[in-house]
Amino acid sequence: MKKIAIFASGNGSNFQAIHDAVQAGTLRAEIKLLVCDKPGAFVTERAKKAGVPVLEFSPKLYTSKAEFETMIHEELQKKDVDYIVLAGYMRLIGSVLLDYYPERIINIHPSLLPAFPGMDAIGQAVDAGVKVTGVTIHFVNEGMDTGPIIAQKAIEILDEDTKEEVERKVHEIEHAFYPETLDRLFEEKRSMEGAAE
């Protein structure tokens, strides 16, 4: 079973969806750690309630991204983590973690990439007047939402939809689609590893 660390910065609804899928047995993985760069964020409460260890840190207390990513990596090693799963982590991943976890850092983004990367993707889509947006799950590289795409799911934006309504639709898809996609990805990796032995 793949061991994952979830990185999040805020409310943690995707953390909750992943945890619930693990509990239900639909995502065959083990959550070893929550990493949060915003001490006191609500996601940390969710993790504690779920019995998941929490690593909270404040980036401004470190001299560089490399310094705090080295600290994170040491904690991930202790937990024998296989994959990093970003779930609303509002910080670009740097070279330290990218080097240690090539093609093993996964992110979910609320648009059909390459359209609307970066912050407030839903707002960008609504402001642009597009009729279709969606959710992208992708591997992370050094760019902003530029890594190889793993899976996508589209949703229609109706003329009467407010930004809040589009957000609701996107989150509804994310909470089912992310655990499903992670499980499928981990199964494929397990099969490949089994074949290589």
Question: Residue 162 and residue 189: Cα distance in Å, rounded?
Answer: 40
Annotated binding residue 28: no
Annotated binding residue 93: yes
Closest CA to 148 of 133, 135, 161, 137: 137
Positions annotated as catalytic residues are 109
Annotated binding residue 9: no
Amino acid at 193: E
Annotated binding residue 65: yes
User: What is the separation, in whole angstroms, between the first and last Cα of the chain?
Assistant: 16
Annotated binding residue 141: no
Q: Is residue 177 within 8 Å of residue 17, measured between CB atoms?
A: no
Two tokens, residue 36: 């949060």
H/E stretch holding 132 reads strand 132-139
H/E stretch holding 73 reads helix 65-78
Question: Residue 145 and residue 120: Cα distance in Å, rounded?
Answer: 13
Q: Which residue ranges are tagged as binding site?
A: 12-14, 65, 90-93, 107
Q: Which residue ranges are tagged as binding site for (6R)-10-formyltetrahydrofolate?
A: 65, 90-93, 107
